[in-house]
Amino acid sequence: MPNLEQALQKTDIEHLRIVAELWGLELESSDFDSALEELCASLLDLEAVAETLDILPAEAKTALAALVEADGKIEWTIFARKYGDIREMGAGKRDRERPHLNPVSTSEVLYYRALLAKAFFDAEKGAQEFAYIPEDLLEIIEHETDRDNGAKRSEPLGRPATPVEKAFEIPASDRILDDATTFLAALRMGDNDRRLRFKRDLQSLLETADLIKDNGLHPEAVKKFLEASRRDALDMLYHAWLNSTDYDELRLLPGIVCEGEWKNQPQVVERSRLCKSRQGKISRLSAPRRGLRLVVHQTRIGRRLPARVRLLGRGGRRVDKVRHSNVAMAGKGKPGIS
């Protein structure tokens, strides 16, 4: 793509003065060539670019980011449709109306700051007009963008947990894979005693992941699950939960009875903050609904985490487990224990 000097080559000295004015500069040169060289040297300064980008209107920043994301150029028809056109006017009309002071589009905001130019480039359909950022200016803008993004990434998200929030630490783990494998093996062997050791939310999750169907195994899905790495298997369960409209943590919470034909929307409700209590008293129910009744008031519900957290972060030990990584396939896609 053309550089900044090439992009401004077809303009006149008054246009250069407009650009300089919007950048907070004053040109000392009186002839075009000298003024162009002086302006380009000033504009291609890291600090000057950072200051100019910082005071751009929000829409102009968005348009510039779109160009950067597209490697510096976008077809003009597409760009103008979204960010507006640039009014065509001769030098006399431009000097009288001073459009840079009253831009009618985001494109004009960028154009009169030399952050945007127009040119024809070869494309699949032949030569087409593109909106582009001059090559040498693009490199500086990309550097500034990367630096800003790096600064944002270095800032921690959210806020520090309060002492109450971190009173009960439950480290995350992938033990759910071992629980799931043990449950599937017990279902395969008809061992109901072992299956009953698990809470009902595990079976519900496996049904959501299509590993269990009609109280039996779904062979192809189980085969895929058991042959996957632990990371991929956990990812399968996570996305099944995330996209499910049927897996309802609220109905699975101990001590909650849902009466009548009341229905919940699990993807809408704040799953991680359903119930909180202190000393057996209900302090808040974040999504109260008609037909929802909380029983078992003597239980410290505040210690009982929603199903998602409880399943993925359970710290209690179990016996008679089958680890996910120890499972092999035993004929016709049915799980077996090696």
- Residues 6 or more apart whose CB falls under 8 angstroms from that of 225 comprise 180, 209, 211, 233, 236
pLDDT at residue number 203 = 84
pLDDT of residue 291: 44
Last residue in a domain, options 154, 186, 208? 154
Q: Is residue 126 part of a domain?
A: yes
Both 41 and 122 in one domain: the answer is yes
Q: Is 8 domain-assigned?
A: yes
Helix (H) or strand (E) holding 287: none
Question: Is the Cβ–Cβ distance between 221 and 209 less than 8 Å?
Answer: yes
User: What DSSP character marks residue 325?
Assistant: G
Are 205 and 253 in a shared domain?
A: yes
What is the domain extent for residue 215?
175-337
Q: How far, in Å, CA of 330 to CA of 333, rounded?
A: 7
Token pair recorded at residue 72: 């510096």
User: Does 201 fall in a domain?
Assistant: yes
Domain boundary among 121, 154, 187: 154
Residue 315 included in any domain: yes
Torsion of CA 211, 213, 216, 221, to 10 degrees: -30
Q: Are residues 102 and 183 in the same domain?
A: no
Classify residue 105: in a domain, yes or no.
yes
Same domain for 261 and 332, yes or no, is: yes
**Same-domain status, 114 and 181:** no
Q: Based on the domain organization, do 127 and 63 belong to the same domain?
A: yes
On whether both 144 and 236 belong to a single domain, the answer is no
Whole-model pTM over 0.75: no
Residue 135 vs residues 14, 117, 171: alpha-carbon distances, Å:
23, 11, 49
* Any domain includes 159: no
Rounded Cα gap, residues 118 and 152, in angstroms: 32
Which DSSP string corresponds to 153-204? HHSPSS-PPPTTTTSS------HHHHHHHHHHHHHHHT-HHHHTTS-HHHHH
Residue 239 is predicted with a pLDDT of 86
Q: What are the pLDDT tens digits along the chain (338 aa)? A: 899 999 999 999 999 999 999 999 999 999 999 999 999 999 999 899 999 999 999 999 999 999 999 999 999 999 999 999 999 999 999 999 999 999 999 999 999 999 999 999 998 888 999 999 999 999 999 988 877 665 555 556 677 777 777 777 777 788 888 888 888 888 888 887 777 777 667 888 888 888 988 888 988 999 999 999 999 999 998 888 888 877 777 777 777 777 666 666 665 554 444 333 333 333 333 333 334 444 333 333 333 333 332 333 333 333 344 455 544 333 333 433 33
Cα distance between the two ends of the chain: 62
CA–CA separation, 98 and 30 (whole Å): 20
Together in a domain, 70 and 143: yes
Q: Are residues 185 and 297 in the same domain?
A: yes
- Assigned domain for 327 exists: yes
| Same domain? 133 vs 182 | no
State the pLDDT at residue 318: 34
Residues 311 and 176 sit within 8 Å (Cβ to Cβ): yes
Same domain for 92 and 136? yes
Residue 111 sits in the same domain as residue 182: no
Domain finish residue from 104, 124, 154: 154
CA distances from 26 to 7, 43, 134 (A): 20, 12, 21
In a domain? residue 277: yes
Taking alpha carbons only, the member of 46, 41, 70 closest to residue 144 is: 46
How many separate domains does the chain show?
2
Neighbours of 330 (CB within 10 A): 12
